Structure 1
Amino acid sequence: MDLFFPMVFLRFYPFSTKSYWDDLVQCPIARGNANGLSRLQALMATVSLRRTKEKIHIVLPPKTIRMCNVALSAEERKLYDDVEARAKIYVENYIAKRSVTKNHSMVISIISWLRHTH
């Protein structure tokens, strides 16, 4: 599902249509069907260009990570808390249904979004 949202953003029809995505990519992958993965790989090869540092012969400095803590306004804090509460409900439902593994990418996305906006 992580790759469906960029398809929507890019308006990459028909892959930006949820039912089409589910039928040809998401469901086959979830069932372990190799066709879903091969379709996804073909799609990504079509819409993406990947160059590694080695291929472009460029020397980059080492990556540095800077963390900036920013105080949220009252409105931003309320929005964050609302999203956090909804995210908690989603994750708790996955846990209750014992489907965390099946929905791990969604759980990781939720946690990642909350971490980046906290």
Structure 2
Amino acid sequence: MSEYYDSELEEIKKKRLEEFMRRLEEERRRKEEEMAREAQRQAILRRIMTPEARGRLANVRLVRPELARAVEDYIINLALAGRLRGVVDDDTLKRILLELDSRSRRDYRIVIREKR
């Protein structure tokens, strides 16, 4: 009887270990794919942006990472669609930042009501 439980326990341990190893491998593969996609994005941005514009975007990323990501996506989409003329310089990046920032900002209003 004890041998039965021991073999059953070993089988459970083996299945758990296999599942753990499978998950670990999937996570490693997912991270590698994400790193490859990010490297490809950065390569595209290096080709279509001036060093000054990339520096400004890096500074924006420190403060507002979601805005920097939106700007990167916007610029990459323009380039892939063939609607980007030349490289993105600092002035062009400033205009894009203002446009995308104004779209994402919410207008907050504070209303103070007097007590009666």
Higher relative contact order (CA closer than 8 Å, sequence separation 6+) = 2
Q: Specify if TM > 0.5.
A: no
TM-score in terms of structure 1 length: 0.26
Query: Whose Rg is larger?
Result: 2
